[in-house]
């Protein structure tokens, strides 16, 4: 008897959360997906080999080994050719899962259009968006990361033909923020409704992913206005004006962590768990 499968990224373990939070999260996500009747498939690269389903020991290594590379699409040739260990981003996880016949993935927040040092949309656009446009997956997340240029990211999703589906919400969340000023394309209140949209997408032979955005409840979420205030303050600092384009996003992430503290980590972990549970429910409906 076969079971539905849910793909999980490994970058959140290797580069997203500190130890031991990352190791605890890996165990919790595994249990959550299995309890919902699906099989968790954590994807990564071991000695340059793409692994569709890391072992427990390999997951543990991802959580503690500082040599593990962050693998986006552009990094695949280097990691494979040099036989490196690599943790997959949203984009590479989508690619690997789709090629392996897995049609549902859970993650935290997706990348999008980054801000420049003046807070405007930059030419730095995450590979996540392009890969969402190329792979017919159902990707469960909590929206784009809150430090991004959200208006430009929402417009880019629309331009690429990626349906943004709000789970029990009419507005797009922004990672650990419950909502944002931007609307979703369609609201669904059950995993079955999302599965029906997925089947309709497949029947129409569309190549894009369906992006399911699952907000944290208000009691756990961070204030959108507060996070945007922190980002604006960071960008107005003297230090921000001297940054190179590639340095802006790490600078903003660090500033948000410093200003908001443990609440950001707690919200991050909680949304990852909730997204895994929803993804497993959708996968079960599709199976």
* pLDDT band (50, 70, 90) for residue 1: low
Residue 245 has pLDDT above 70, yes or no: no
Buried b (16+ CB within 10 A) or exposed e, 64-95: eeeebbbbbbebbeebbeeebbbbbbbbbbbb
What domains are defined for the chain? 5-286 (3.40.1790.10)
* Mean of pLDDT values over 205-213: 98
Q: What is the pLDDT of residue 265?
A: 86
Q: What is the pTM of this model?
A: 0.95
Q: What pLDDT is recorded for position 242?
A: 81
Note the pLDDT of residue 246. Answer: 64
Q: Give catalytic status of residue 9 as yes or no.
A: yes
User: Mean pLDDT in the chain?
Assistant: 94
Catalytic-labelled residue, pool 9, 50, 178, 285: 9
- Give the residue among 47, 44, 43 at the shortest CA–CA distance from 84: 47
Query: 106: which strand partners?
Result: 8, 140
Q: Are 184 and 165 in contact (CB under 8 A)?
A: yes
Which tokens belong to 82?
A: 């040099």
**283: phi then psi, degrees, rounded to nearest 5:** -60, -40
Measured at the CA of 215, the angle between CA 275 and CA 232, to 5 degrees, comes to 120
Q: Which of 50, 58, 70, 145 is catalytic?
A: 145
Tell me how far CA of residue 283 lies from CA of 4, 10, 36, 196, 272, in angstroms.
Answer: 6, 20, 10, 11, 16
- Binning pLDDT at 50, 70 and 90, where does residue 93 land? very high
Cα-Cα-Cα-Cα torsion 183, 226, 230, 255, nearest 10 degrees, comes to -100
Question: Is the model's pLDDT at 62 over the cut of 90?
Answer: yes
Mean pLDDT of 49-69: 97
């Amino acid at each position: 008897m076969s079971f539905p499968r849910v793909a999980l990224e490994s970058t959140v373990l290797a580069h997203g959360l500190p130890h031991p939070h990352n190791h605890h999260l890996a165990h919790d996500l595994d249990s959550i997906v299995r309890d919902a009747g699906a099989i968790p498939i954590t994807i990564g690269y071991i000695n340059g080999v793409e692994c569709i389903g890391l072992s427990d020991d390999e997951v543990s290594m991802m959580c503690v080994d500082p040599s593990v590379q962050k693998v986006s699409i552009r990094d695949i040739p280097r990691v494979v050719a040099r036989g490196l260990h690599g943790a997959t981003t949203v984009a590479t996880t989508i690619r690997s899962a789709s090629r392996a016949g897995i049609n549902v993935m859970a993650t935290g927040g997706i990348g999008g259009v980054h801000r420049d040092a003046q807070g405007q949309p930059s030419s730095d656009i995450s590979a996540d968006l392009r890969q969402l446009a190329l792979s017919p997956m159902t990707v469960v997340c909590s929206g784009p990361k809150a430090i991004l240029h959200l208006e430009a990211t929402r417009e880019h999703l629309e331009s690429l033909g990626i349906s943004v589906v709000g789970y029990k919400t009419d507005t797009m969340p922004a990672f650990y923020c419950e909502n944002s000023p931007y609307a979703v394309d369609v609201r669904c209140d059950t995993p079955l409704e999302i599965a029906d949209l997925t089947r309709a997408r497949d029947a129409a032979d569309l190549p894009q992913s369906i992006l399911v955005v699952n907000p944290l409840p208000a009691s756990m979420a961070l204030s959108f206005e507060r996070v945007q205030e922190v980002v604006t303050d960071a960008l107005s600092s003297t230090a921000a004006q001297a940054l190179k384009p590639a340095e802006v996003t790490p600078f903003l992430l660090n500033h948000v962590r410093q200003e908001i503290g443990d609440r950001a980590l707690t919200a991050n972990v909680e949304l990852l768990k909730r997204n895994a549970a929803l993804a497993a429910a959708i996968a079960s409906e599709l199976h």
